[in-house]
Structure 1
Amino acid sequence: MKIYYVYILKCSDNTYYTGITSNLEKRFMEHQSAKYKDSYTYSRRPLQLAFYAEFTNPEIAISTEKQIKKWSKAKKEALINNAFDKLPNLAKKRFNHK
């Protein structure tokens, strides 16, 4: 059974990159070694693997990656820090009242 990984990298500029792969170690080394010059992480090295989750269903892995990419930095950090109880509140929209 093939395993798919959704992962979050913490970049040197304190931003996050979310991706998906079937070989986490190889993909992390590609990011870290700047294999792809046009990638988001190229100029943001060194990188740290902050989070990953394993999936056996590629469709669920892809939808999870897309969902996390839309999240705020605060929500990604709650996931990274296993603060799952904070996720619902961080999902709520904030409106500026004038």
Structure 2
Amino acid sequence: MENAKAQQSKQSWYVYMIRANDNSLYTGITTDLARRLAEHKGEAVGAYRGAKALRSKRRLEMVFSHKVENRSKASRLESRIKLLSKTKKEALVVGQLSLEKLESDS
């Protein structure tokens, strides 16, 4: 039987951006995009599990996602995206900015 860490390393990870109704962008990582969006929207069963930054925001929309090999790479890429200006994040969303440079720095 594999331990949780070994199973986690075999999962696909995603870096994602969610746009809120105030046009702000939230960046995060997950192994399940649909589940995570539902958690952010407060649609998951049980206590709220979304980000505090999105708690009061409504009409959340997943506007960007990118699959990476493991959690470590996802976390590094998430950090780099969070450091981008809003203009560059918007360019990433519409495909005018490539992740190649950010990933090569990971």
TM-score (norm 1): 0.79
Deviation string for 1:42-76 (max 9, x for gaps)? Answer: 11111010100001222111100011011111000
Residues 1:15 and 2:19 are matched in the alignment: no
Cα shift at 1:26 = 0.5
2:76 equivalent to 1:60: no
Q: Secondary structure at the match of 1:84?
A: coil
Partner of 1:41: 54
- Structure 1's unaligned 5+ residue stretches are 89-98
Whichever residue aligns with residue 68 of structure 1, its letter is I
Match of 1:81 among 77, 91, 94: 94
34, 37, 57: which one aligns with 1:25: 34
1:38, CA displacement in angstroms?
Answer: 6.5
Does the Cα contact within 8 Å between 1:9 and 1:49 map onto a contact in 2?
A: yes
- Tell me the secondary structure at the aligned position of residue 52 of structure 2: coil
Compute the TM-score of the two structures, normalised by the length of structure 2. Answer: 0.73
- 1:96 is matched with which residue? none
Verify the 8 A CA contact 1:21 1:27 in the aligned structure 2: yes
Q: Which residue does 2:104 correspond to in 1?
A: none
Offset at 1:37? 7.3
How many positions carry a matched residue from both structures?
86
Gap regions ≥5 residues in structure 2: 1-9, 102-106
C-alpha spacing 1:2/1:38, structure 2 compared with 1 (3 Å): closer
- 1:21 & 1:37 partners in 2: Cα distance? 12
